[in-house]
Structure formats: structure tokens, C-alpha cells
Amino acid sequence: MTVTPDIPVIAIDGPSGSGKGTIARRVALALGWHLLDSGALYRLVALAAGRKGIAFDDEKSLALLAASLNVRFGSDQDGNEQIWLDDEDVTAAIRTEDAGIGASAVAGLQAVRDGLLGRQREFRQEPGLVADGRDMGTQVFTDAALKVFLTATPEERAKRRYKQLKGKGIDVSLPALSRDIEDRDRRDSERSVAPLRPAEDARILDSSSKSIEAVTQTVLDWASEL
């Protein structure tokens, strides 16, 4: 596997529900580039820890787990993402709010972040990579050719998550979801380790009143200027 800094990266960071996952997928598809959903890795660590009975404050065991996760990313016949942990399809299991909250807890541990760093950088393959997360532009790919920080109002983000989860048949309440999003935002932004913030050279894009197509096009326009 070749990992080289010459391969271009587009980093798309932002808070939960800002639409970065959807936008990153569309941009990667349009460019024919690889995609890294870094949040899925933190969700996988939380899920695997829960199954193995490892506490979310057991930094040493969590770091070992993060570094040794046996994970495979793929897609089904319709192009929908599929994620396997060992031999189990965990695509749905990692998308629950619980997995998100667990992910946010383990993501606050430096040793876990270090354990996942090399794995994330391995996604940098020809012809290019679109990486989505919280610290793609500030930590993992500081030399990214384009850094986008995607935002949206907290109300809009809660609504989007609500629709997304309902669409997947997951039962949630909007007020509970708003609270979870607020808590997660606070934890992600206030933590001492890799806090959520735009890179100094990031371009800020507010998606609140914009369609998915319009936001995707803006990122593609910026990419074409590279």
C-alpha cells in the first residue's frame, strides 16, 4: 500500500448533522476519489469496547483496541456503505445515537486518537481522498489541498439527524436528539484533545439554508480551483 503526501486530500470537518458525511460522499463520487468516514472509526471503537466490556475511561485497553480493530469498509450492490467488524455487518449498529455518544467519549482520549491516526492516513490513495470528520484539517491531513468547515444551525442539524435516523427505522425523539447534539457539540469543542474547530486555512461553509446539491457544487467549485 502506497501512502504519499503527493496525493491530494479534501478535508471536510464540522459538527454532527452539518451534512459533512453526505457532502463528502458526493464530492468523492463526483471526483472518483476515495472516501474516509473517520467518525465511523470512533464509533467502531465504542461499539467494540461495549461488546468486550471495556470501560470508556480505560485508555490503555481502548488504545490497543483502536490500533487492532479488524474493520472492513465496502458497499452493497446498490452502492450503500457497509462496514464489517471482524465478520459482523455493523453498518446499522454504529449509526445509533448510543454509538455516537460512545464515540464522542472515546474520541476524547489521546491514546485512542493516536491508535487511529495511521489507519486514517492509509486511506490516502491515488487519485485522491475526501476525508470527513472533526480534525481532518487540523490534525490528520494538515497538508490537505482544500479544507472545508461545514456548519449549520443546531436546530437544522437536529432536524436532519431526526429525518436521517427515522429514515433508517431508528426510533428517536426530536427534543432528545437536540439535547444529544448540544452535549456532543460541547464535548467535541471543549475537549483538550483535538477539539472541533476550523483549521486556520479552512473555508467556512454554512449549509443551513442550502440544498445538498448546492453545497456539493460549492465544494467541487473550490476543488476545481486547486
Beta carbon nearer to ligand C5P, 26 or 184: 184
Closest CA to 112 of 146, 66, 180, 144: 66
CB of 125 to ligand C5P, least distance (A): 18
Site mask, ligand C5P, residues 133-172, x = CB under 6 A?
Answer: xxx-------------------------------------
Q: Which stretch binds ligand C5P (CB under 6 A): 83-91, 97-105, 141-149, 167-175?
A: 97-105
Residues 184 and 16 sit within 8 Å (Cβ to Cβ): yes
Binding to ligand C5P by residue 19, rule CB under 6 A? no
Residues 31 and 130 sit within 8 Å (Cβ to Cβ): yes
Residue number of the CB closest to ligand C5P reads 39
Report d(CA 143, CA 74) in Å as an integer.
27
Q: Which stretch binds ligand C5P (CB under 6 A): 36-44, 143-151, 169-177, 202-210?
A: 36-44
What one-character DSSP code corresponds to residue 202? Answer: P
Residues 133 and 14 sit within 8 Å (Cβ to Cβ): no
- Residue of 44, 49, 54, 103 that binds ligand C5P (CB under 6 A): 103
- Residue of 18, 91, 104, 178 that binds ligand C5P (CB under 6 A): 104
CB of 224 to ligand C5P, least distance (A): 25
Report d(CA 15, CA 186) in Å as an integer.
10
One-letter amino acid at 55 equals: A
Report d(CA 181, CA 155) in Å as an integer.
10
- Residue of 8, 10, 34, 42 that binds ligand C5P (CB under 6 A): 42
How many other CB atoms are there within 10 angstroms of residue 186's CB atom? 12
Which residues are at the interface with ligand C5P (CB under 6 A)? 16, 38-39, 42-43, 100, 103-104, 107, 133-135, 184, 188
